[in-house]
Amino acid sequence: MPSKDTDTGTGKGGSIIVETVTRLMVPFIQLFALYVIIHGAGGPGGGFQGGVIFASSFVLYVIAFGIVKAGNRFSERANIVLFSTGVYIYAGVGLLCILFSYGAAQFLNYGYIPLTHHFEENRALGMDLVEIGIGITVMAVITSIFFNLVWKREEVGEREGED
Amino acid sequence: MLIVEHFPVLVVAISMFAAFTILIAGWLLNKKCCFFISFITILVQFILSIFILHHVLTVGTITYWLGGWAPPWGIEYVVDALNAYILVILLFLSLVCVMYSKRYEEHEIPNKIVSYYVLYQLLVTGLCGVTVTGDIFNMYVFIEIFSLAAYALIASHGKIALKASLTYLVMGAIGACFFLLGIGFLYSVTGSLNMYDISCILKTGDLYTSRVVQAAFTFFIIGMGIKMALFPLHTWLPDAHSFAPAEISAMLSGIIIEVSTYALIRVCLSVFTVDFLEMYFPITTLICWTAAMAMIYGSVLAIAQYNLKRMLAYSSVANMGYIMLGVGLCMSSSFGLTPALMHILNHALMKGCMFLAAGAFIYKFDLWEIEDFRGLGRKMPYTTLSFILAALAMIGMPPSVGFVTKLYLAVACFQAGQFVFVAVIFFSTLLILFYFWRVIEYMYIRVEEEGATAKEVKVDEIPWSMLIPVLVLGILCFVVGVLWLVNTPAFPLMDIMDAVNAEFGLGVVP
């Protein structure tokens, strides 16, 4: 966990230009990420790519505002819940296919989830659901990896300082 | 579609589900529930795997198209007798080890319980995935999943284990790269990733003479050789086995390297066929000789060790030699793959028992060196008893599991006309006798040297949740040995072997 009194990561040297541009860019990056996730089934892109783009917006935020300010916004617990949620959505959709068809359809055979009356439409919607699950997991895991890398270095620095 | 046909995918999916449930439940609710979720999940998986095995033996091979996509395009899960057999062994050993791990890990790493069980569950997910899949790229992905979980689990005690884990990580990554290169080469030639499809294209397209295909085969052998610690490529194994937590050592030695062996057998015999091995790429002689060297080398180095877990690790190298000798002889005897597959189960029982017992000595008295085991036979009577049962089985006392393996291997060698390997088996048995006798001697016989204090020893056993797994494995070493020999209808072990051999067209004397 970050301590507030350390000098590192409080956004030292953060220029007004970088901060303003980041404020402007982050919503657009996230919107683009959502676009990539939703259009993954029909065009280039998909859950993984969209998730990485979404996470990159957080990375940009950390670069501009420092890890402490960013760390106050994303807690580690929320991250864990998020990346588990993604896996739950993915595996859950797969299992729902088996349940709704009473064992007639295979795992991840989306057409059998009764969302609408058309088999093909169900299949498209199921695919989107799975992509959203993948996107959430990838976003949370990449953010988690990045935050861990940044924080671990700080902790080592503190420990060396104590010794 | 029968409900049993969903079980292969359910085995993997509920395991994945459970891994993340453990994470959430452990961090947000209570650390104690991690163990119970993991235990119940693996128990359910084990029951499912028994149904799968029963269905495969009575009805036939299960093929499952994920998402309803037909095989060359979609991922296909195929479970035949070989998969189902490995799956049951794997889940049984996982169940026993997770039961053992409760008290052991609460004692050793109380702060990391949650991440430990998450990784353990992912390890089981990866191992199950490798065994049920019929898609070669899917197999690679699951190999990576269980390897990554295994690297982290080996390092979980910190300190020197980190170094051992890093060595394994580097070697394992190289092995996985070779496997991936092999897949890439095959894909460039055949344009398919489904195992059955690849084998059909290789056969009908007359591609066995292609250099690319032969290079791919070499890459598979080397890659899986590293993962399964085949003799010259075993260098990561002793450190990883001796510094890992006890039940992870048991899993590593008992099933992880065996699952890699399964992957190799599957690639050799299902993707490339017996014809390819016989006529275009005669590698079986090389495998036999490598295996023979592993049997001698592992046993000799095991004698040189003073640390019990390290000694058992070198013994694993020797035992991989036994399994590979069985694989090497599979085409020239009427037993086919039987000795190799037999030893996969037998080795899981024996090594699982011995590594868990070694962990018990560390848990109770922090004893690592064999010389410190003086009088342990009186302090921990049940643990040492099951250790000795497993050691006797390893030496090959009839009617134990080790005896059955050696009997079948020796007869297979005679049938193949390779008498030198019979001598190797005999010689390595002598070496095994030597290094296990040393342990037994310190445990039971050399008590007097401690003097008068040895006379009044209080029994100081490990908790029952650790003792039951050790005892069960120790007793099974002999029970399964009898079951191999008599083949009762309730435990049709030989029927499974016959089904596997029939499927690959083995077991017919040429």
Domain total for chain A? 1
Question: Which of A106, A134, A137 is best to mutate for the B interface (most B CBs within 10 A)?
Answer: A106
Please tell me the distance from the alpha carbon of residue A66 to that of residue A64, in angstroms, as a whole number: 6
Nearest to B272 by CA among B326, B207, B331: B207
Could you give phi then psi for residue B221, rounded to 5 degrees?
Answer: -60, -45
Say which amino acid occupies A58. F
Distances (CA, A) of A3 to A72, B59, B230: 11, 63, 49
Could you give phi then psi for residue B447, rounded to 5 degrees?
Answer: -85, -35
For chain A, the residue count is 163
Secondary structure element (H or E) that encloses residue B78, with its range:
strand B76-79
Tell whether B17 is within 8 A of chain A (Cβ).
yes
* Residue entry with tokens 């269905």: B55
Secondary structure element (H or E) that encloses residue A121, with its range:
helix A119-162
Measured between CA atoms, the residue of chain B closest to residue A126 is B67
B6 contacts on A by Cβ (under 8 Å): 98, 103, 106-107
Domain ranges in chain B are 330-510
pLDDT per residue as tens, chain B (510 positions): 788 889 999 999 999 999 999 988 888 888 888 999 999 999 999 999 999 999 999 998 999 998 888 888 889 999 999 999 999 999 999 999 999 998 888 888 888 889 999 999 999 999 999 999 999 999 999 999 999 999 999 998 878 899 999 999 999 999 999 999 999 999 999 999 999 999 999 989 888 888 999 999 999 999 999 998 888 888 899 989 989 999 999 999 989 999 999 999 999 888 988 888 888 888 888 999 999 999 999 999 999 988 999 999 999 999 999 999 999 988 888 888 899 999 999 999 999 999 999 999 988 888 888 888 887 888 888 999 999 999 999 998 888 999 999 999 999 999 888 889 999 999 999 999 998 888 888 888 776 655 545 556 677 788 888 899 999 999 999 999 999 988 788 888 888 888 888 888 776 655
Distances (CA, A) of B63 to A98, A130, B73, B268, B413: 16, 24, 15, 20, 35
Does residue A5 lie in a domain region?
no
Nearest to B130 by CA among B274, B257, B300: B257
Question: Which of B4, B14, B20, B41 is best to mutate for the A interface (most A CBs within 10 A)?
Answer: B20
Does residue A66 lie in a domain region?
yes
Please tell me the distance from the alpha carbon of residue B356 to that of residue B93, in angstroms, as a whole number: 11
Say which amino acid occupies B269. L
Tell whether A107 is within 8 A of chain B (Cβ).
yes
Measured between CA atoms, the residue of chain A closest to residue B118 is A84
Structure pTM? 0.91
Using DSSP, state whether B111 is helix, strand or coil: helix
Does residue A96 lie in a domain region?
yes
**Is the distance from CB of B285 to CB of B328 less than 8 angstroms?**
yes
Q: Which residue range forms the structural domain that includes residue A110? A: 16-162
Using DSSP, state whether B194 is helix, strand or coil: strand
Distances (CA, A) of B287 to B205, B293, B320, B398, B462: 28, 10, 11, 28, 42
A98 contacts on B by Cβ (under 8 Å): 6
Does residue A9 lie in a domain region?
no
CB-facing half-sphere around the CA of B267: CA atoms within 13 A: 29
ipTM of the complex: 0.82
The answer to whether B68 contacts A109, with C-beta atoms less than 8 Å apart, is yes
Burial group, residue A8, by CB count within 10 angstroms (0-12, 13-18, 19+): middle
Does residue A107 lie in a domain region?
yes
Secondary structure element (H or E) that encloses residue A67, with its range:
helix A67-73
